[in-house]
Chains A and B, each alone.
Chain A
C-alpha cells in the first residue's frame, strides 16, 4: 500500500525553483531515502509533505489525504525530526514532550502512554527531568525522535537526522531508526547527504537542483551507475600495466596501488596471476560512485 504518492510536486520562490516537478511513491513500511547535496531540494520536499511549506503546483497524497486540502489529517499521521533541534532549550525533556503532545490534543496521561513503549529503548529515564539545553548532541537527537513519535505517526520524516553528530552518536541514532523500522514497522522517509546512510534503504531517490536524477534500490543504482574496483598494491611498472590491460583499460596509479575499474569476475584472473598479484583487495561500487557518476559531484561520506 502506498502511503505517499507525489506527482509533479513543485516549489518556486519567485525566480528560483527549489523543487521541480518531482514524482515518486513510498510504500508502507519501507525506508525511503532522499539523497542529495545541500540545496538539492530535500528539506523543501519534506517541508511540503509535512504541510510546513505550501506547494506551488503538483499533487501529493499522504496516507490517502490530499496535500493542501486535508492538511490537518496529514499532520496527524506525520512525525518529523528536523535537521536542527527545534525543542525549547530552557525547558526540561518532560516539559518539552508534554507540551508538544498537547498540540495534538493529547493529555499528559496520553502522552506518557504513547511514549511508554519507546522510553526504555530510548533510555529516557536518565534525562527526563534535565533541561534540553544541557543534553549532548546524541541525547538531543534521541529526544527529537521521541518528540516525533508522540502522535503515533504512520510516517516518520527524518531530515538529515545525523548531521553534526559524532560517529558514536550517529550509530546510536541509526540503531533507533532501525529499531522503529523493524520493531514498529514504521515507514521512514529520510533525507541525507551521507552516502552510507542510504545503504539499508528500500528505495533511494537522488535529487539534484530540485530534480530527481535517478531512483531505485541501492543495488539497482550501484549496478547502473557504479563500478567495482580491483585495488592492487604493487610498484608502478610496465609489466604490471600490461597485466592490468588484460582485464581493463580504466586504471590509475595512486601512491602505492593501482585502482582498476572493472565489472568482470576476477577470481579466475587473480588465481592465474597469483604470483604477481599478491596484495590486493576487491572494492564493490558504492553509493558515492553512483552520486559522483550521476552528478559529477562528491558528497560527504
Chain B
C-alpha cells in the first residue's frame, strides 16, 4: 500500500508545487469570474428580471443577485472540474515523454497501481481545488446574503465535487492516451479551456442552444454535475423566492428560472432528474475507469 500512497503523493506534489500549473488549470474559472464582473452578471440579472413578468414586488433585488451569484459559482466549479483534472493528468504525458514512466516501471509498483494512482491523484487534486472554490464561494455568498442552504445540501454539494472530479478524471485518463507529447496535450488544453465554459453553460445557459448542442454538451459528466450543483446550491434560495411570491404565479417564475439556467440536464428531448444525472455520471465514470484499467495495462507492457 505504501507504494501506491507514495506514487499518489508524488503526483499530488507535482501539481500542487507547480504554481503556474495551478494558475493555468484555473484560468477558465478566473476568466469566467472576470467576465461576470464585467458583464455576465448583468446578462444573468436581466434574464432573471425578464422572467419576473409583474412579480417584481414579490422578489427582492438581493435575492435575484444571490441567484445570479450562485449561478456564477456553479459555472466556476463546473469549468474547474474540467480544467483541473486535465492539468493534473498531463503528468502522464510528461512522464511518458521524459522517460519517467520507465523509472516507475522498473520498480515493484504494480502496473494497475500506477494507473489507479494517476487517477486517484487527479481526482483528489480536483476535489481539493473545487472544494476550496466551493468553500470560498459559499463564505463570500454568505456575507452577501442568505443562500438558504441546509447541511444536507452542503454535504451533497461536496459529494458532487467528488463525483464530478472522479468522472472528469476518468474521461481524461482515456483522452491522455492519444497524446504522445506534452506540446500536443497543451494545445488540446487550449481548446478545452475555451470550450469548457460553453459546454457547462457558464457563459450562456445551455437552454439557449439548440437541442443537438444541448445533447452534445450533456454527454459530458461535468455538464450534469454543473446542473446538479446548481440544483443543490440554489434550490434553497429558489424555494425562498417561490415562498415570497406566495403562489401567485403557481411556481411559474422558479420553474422558468430552473429551465433557463439548466437546473436539470436536458438532452435529446429528455429532462434528467437529479438521480438520473447522478446515475449517468456514475455509469459514465465506471465505464471510463474499466476502459482505462484495460488499455493502460496494455500500454505499460511494451
Contacts and interface: CB of A to CB of B under 8 A. Distances in A.
Given A47-B102, A82-B102, A104-B3, A88 B10 contact: yes
A88 B100 contact: yes
Interface in A71-110: 72, 75-76, 78, 80, 82, 84, 86-88, 90-91, 95, 99-107
A139 interface: no
B108 interface: yes
A107 to B, nearest CB: 7
A104 B7 CA distance: 10
Interface string B69-104: 000000000000000000000000000001110111
A50 interface: yes
A243 B16 CA distance: 76
Interface residues of B, number: 25
Interface in A36-88: 47, 50-54, 72, 75-76, 78, 80, 82, 84, 86-88
A103 B6 contact: yes
Interface string B103-118: 1111111100000000
A99 B2 contact: no
Contacts, number: 76
B107 A75 contact: yes
B98 A102 contact: no
Sort chain A's interface into a size bin. 20 to 34
B180 interface: no
Contacts of A80: 103, 106
Contacts of A106: 2
Contact of A99 (B9, B99, B302): B9
A45 to B, nearest CB: 14
Nearest to A43: B102
Interface string B1-25: 0110111011001100110000000
A102 B18 contact: no
12 contacts: A47-B102, A50-B106, A51-B105, A72-B110, A75-B106, A76-B108, A82-B103, A88-B10, A91-B10, A91-B13, A103-B104, A107-B2
Which 7 residue pairs are nearest across A and B when measured between Cβ atoms? A102-B6, A103-B107, A99-B10, A86-B103, A75-B108, A103-B109, A50-B106
